[in-house]
Structure 1
Amino acid sequence: MADRPRRRRIRRTLLAALVTFAVAVPVSGAARPAAVPAPAPTALGPLREASPAALAPRYAVSRQDIRAAERAAEDHGDLRRAASLREFAAPGRRFLSFDGRDGGRSVEVVGDLAAARRIAVLVPGAGVGLDAYGRLRRDASALRGELGAGGAVAIWLGYRSPATVSTAVLTTERADEAAPLLRALVDGLRAVRPAARISLLCHSYGSVVCARSASGTAADALVFYGSPGVGVEDAEALRTRARVWAGRGRGDWIARVPHVRVRLPLLAAVGFGTDPVAARFGAEVFDAGNGGHSDYLLRGSRSLANLARIAAGAEPVGASR
């Protein structure tokens, strides 16, 4: 009985957040530039081989698609997008796929996939796209450095990431759309690198995406960090054989998000349920250090070191059940 007032307060907080987002979305949307057009990418079949000879043509085709999207952005007058895409096409960058339409989709490899024994797939959260990609690339490079020889990082920008301030960020709808695509990527990586260890590193709303793809995943580990919840009440409900980890930095504001899931009239369920670092969720909890919401992969951080250890199959420092 004593818990009822607390749950009512949480529901009121969540409703207030929903109202705030509903008001903010039209304002923020109106201020945004129109979607930048891009040509359809070259049709690429599934990844069937990870030898250097097989990967080089695929990387080259993706670079051509990036260049075509860059020209379209210039013609459209979006110099920011064009500048971002010039960086994408820089020598040494490797993309398994690229599609510049509808905000952009891409899979970039940092490291040598052909020789990888440990593959970490970064699954980003809300507000990430082609124009806000630099930090994601920086983080992937830091993780690749921590993994060392035999490690590769795949940056999966494979879905319509919800805006940070939007109603979409409060529901699983975008994650439900994304989950089959993420599962297909992991299946492809497993097919071409069957002996490699594959870990899904899932940040913020990306943890909801990973949870939706968890059942039957070919990944060895699911790692939720900076998570608002994953849409299920406990790790058992994920129905996965992967080892499930969770961590949160002590300076991360996400700790203040109400960890409830509420069904509202005329709307989908709002919120994502149990906090993954809570004991009752049942994940293995690792020490994510003192950083904030965007600091998990900063060079020299405890969180980066532990995420790399998990991706490598080692025990993180400060882990607990």
Structure 2
Amino acid sequence: MGLGFWKRRGRRTLIAAALTTTIVAGTAGWASGHEQRPLTGPPPGTASWRADGTLGRQLPDPETATPARMASFFRGLSAAEQHRLAARHPSVVGNLDGAPTSLRYEANGLALRAEHARARADAQDTALTPQSRAAARALAERCADLLTPGRRVLAFDPRGRGQVAEVYGDLRTARHVSVVVPGSDIDLTSFDRTKEVYGTPAGMAKSLYTAAHGRTAVVAWVGYTTPVGLGPDAATGRLAEAGAPRLTRFVQGLTASGAPEPAVFCHSYGSVVCGLAASRLPASDLVVLGSPGLRADSVSDLHTRARVWAARDDSDWISRVPHVELLGMGHGADPTDPAFGARRVPAERAKGHTGYFAPGTDSLRAFTDIATGATS
């Protein structure tokens, strides 16, 4: 091997070492992160679902049945049978990819009311610690917010830091559908926070839905455990590897329920999730913004039929993250590099890491065209 090879390898090793030091030590502006335990497996209440024999036959297993199989199962039920299952197993049906959209809304309403009542009781339980009662009060308030009339909750799971998916528009009649996948620090309590609103999935989804004048239904999806801060979880693919199958099932569930293949918008660490899911994701477009990398060296490495787009504005701090993947650290090539092969989204008017969906930006205008099929 020549001297050039060893020089290139040495540079990559030095970059990886610097990246590791930056993350672990929390230097160079990186915040300290806390290791998260990813939420995996079937929906809560699955054991009761598996034991249910009220229909006279075994119900399909939420853990192993495909979304297409679930969609077929529900099509074979009467309306009364569907509603009965939703009432008996709201936490399962509400999170069951492939179940009818309206039935999932109904089931999640029931699950939210039950969780709201439980949390309110815990908030008044003097046997619990003050911290536990405060957490219960916060959860009760969160459930009350989600129960506001007009909100369409397509998924709800209070376990861990909590997960949720909310729909803007009508999935049942939409000619176009978009899904927003968030990055770090997003969970049940923060997915629609008012601070840095365009960095939240709800803020991004609402902005896109408004800009498109209702020509696309948009789903704000918080269905995986995101990193907290910018520590080791954000620099490795561990949480993305756990989240990718969940995103795949969710999108497969949308299409199995009759929705068109969506445009999937992936912000920051969410793009790592999307990159790992890409080969199995039934999507028309894959749009990454503020991406640290997709764990791929090029578009061809993603093995996707979707058109791949990439956006990054000059003021986004993500540009200072080394685009390498070595010894499990980093997420690989820069998707905005022409050599990667993605279509470039203009983002000159976007500001910072969370400004891509801000009204009036060229990036939002381009996203709207992608979401509504106005691009070639």
Structure 1 residues not aligned, in runs of 5+ = 31-38, 264-268, 317-321
Q: Give the AA of the match of 1:202.
A: C
- Whether 2:214 is the aligned partner of 1:149: answer yes
Which residue of structure 1 aligns with residue 233 of structure 2? 168
Equivalent residues, number: 299
Which residue of 219, 236, 245 maps to 2:283? 219
Contact 1:65 1:98 in 2 (8 A): no
Partner residue in 1 for 2:80: none
Q: Give the secondary-structure state (helix, strand or coil) at the position aligned to 1:273.
A: coil
Quote the offset at 1:147 in angstroms. 2.0
Q: What are the within-5 Å matches in structure 2 for residues 113-192 of structure 1?
A: 113-134=171-192, 135=197, 136=200, 137-192=202-257
Which amino acid in 2 is paired with 1:42? S
2:150 corresponding residue in structure 1:
92
Other-structure match for 2:22: 17
- 1:207 correspondence with 2:207: no
Q: Is the 8 A contact 1:59 1:94 kept in 2?
A: no
* 2:340 aligned with 1:281: yes
1:105 aligns with 2:166: no
Farther off after superposition, 142-151 or 40-49: 40-49
Question: How far has the Cα of 1:28 moved from its partner?
Answer: 6.4
Is residue 112–residue 143 contact of structure 2 (8 Å, CA) maintained in 1?
A: no
Task: Indicate which of 97, 101, 113 corresponds to 1:64.
Answer: 113
Q: How far apart are 1:70 and its partner, in Å? A: 4.7
The amino acid that maps onto 1:280 is A
Q: Secondary structure at the match of 1:132?
A: coil
1:246 shift after superposition = 0.7
> Which amino acid in the other structure matches residue 291 of structure 1?
K
The structural deviation recorded for 1:197 is 4.2
Cα drift, residue 27 of structure 1:
7.5
Letter paired with 1:57: E
Comparing 304-313 and 2-11, the one that deviates more: 2-11
Structure 1 residue aligned with 2:355, among 289, 292, 295? 295
Deviations 1:165-218 (A, max 9, x none): 321111111111111111111111111225x24111000000000111111211
TM-score, normalization by structure 2: 0.72
Preserved CA contact (<8 Å) 1:62 1:95? no
Partner Cα separation in structure 2 for residue 223 and residue 184 of structure 1 = 19
User: What TM-score does the superposition give when structure 1 sets the normalisation length?
Assistant: 0.84
CA contact (8 A) 1:21 1:167 kept: no
Richer in strand (by share): 1
Once the two structures are TM-superposed, the CA of residue 233 in structure 1 deviates from its matched residue by 1.1
Change (3 A) 1:56 1:159: closer
1:65–1:170 Cα change, 3 Å:
farther
CA RMSD of aligned residues (A): 2.8
Aligned-pair distance for 1:254? 0.2
Q: Find the aligned partners of 2:360 and 2:168 in 1 and give their Cα distance.
A: 19
Listed as ranges, the matches of 1:252-267 within 5 Å are: 252-263=316-327
Give the C-alpha shift of residue 81 in structure 1: 4.1
The superposition leaves residues 30-58 of structure 1 with CA deviations (integer Å, 9 ceiling, x where unpaired) of 9xxxxxxxx966221443334x5x46524
Distance 1:169 1:198, change over 3 A: same
Q: Distance in 2 between matches of 1:28 and 1:213?
A: 24
Deviates more, 1:136-145 or 1:55-64: 55-64
After TM superposition, the structure 1 stretch with the greater mean CA deviation from structure 2, 69-78 or 128-137, is 69-78
Residue aligning to 2:51: none
Q: 1:146 to 1:282 in 2, by over 3 A?
A: same
The alpha-carbon deviation at position 250 of structure 1 amounts to: 1.9
Using the TM superposition, give the Cα deviation of residue 230 of structure 1 relative to its aligned residue in structure 2, in angstroms: 1.0
1:25 deviation in Å? 11
Q: Distance in 2 between matches of 1:129 and 1:57?
A: 22
- Any unmatched runs of 5+ in structure 2? 36-43, 46-89, 125-132
Offset, 1:120: 0.8
Judge conservation of contact 1:179–1:210 (CA < 8 Å) in 2.
Answer: yes
Aligned to 1:308: 368
Change (3 A) 1:224 1:27: closer
**Largest Rg, 1 or 2:** 2
Secondary structure of the corresponding residue to residue 142 of structure 2: helix
Alpha-carbon shift at residue 315 of structure 1 (Å): 2.5
Q: Which range moves more in the overlay, 286-295 or 227-236?
A: 286-295
CA contact (8 A) 1:42 1:65 kept: no
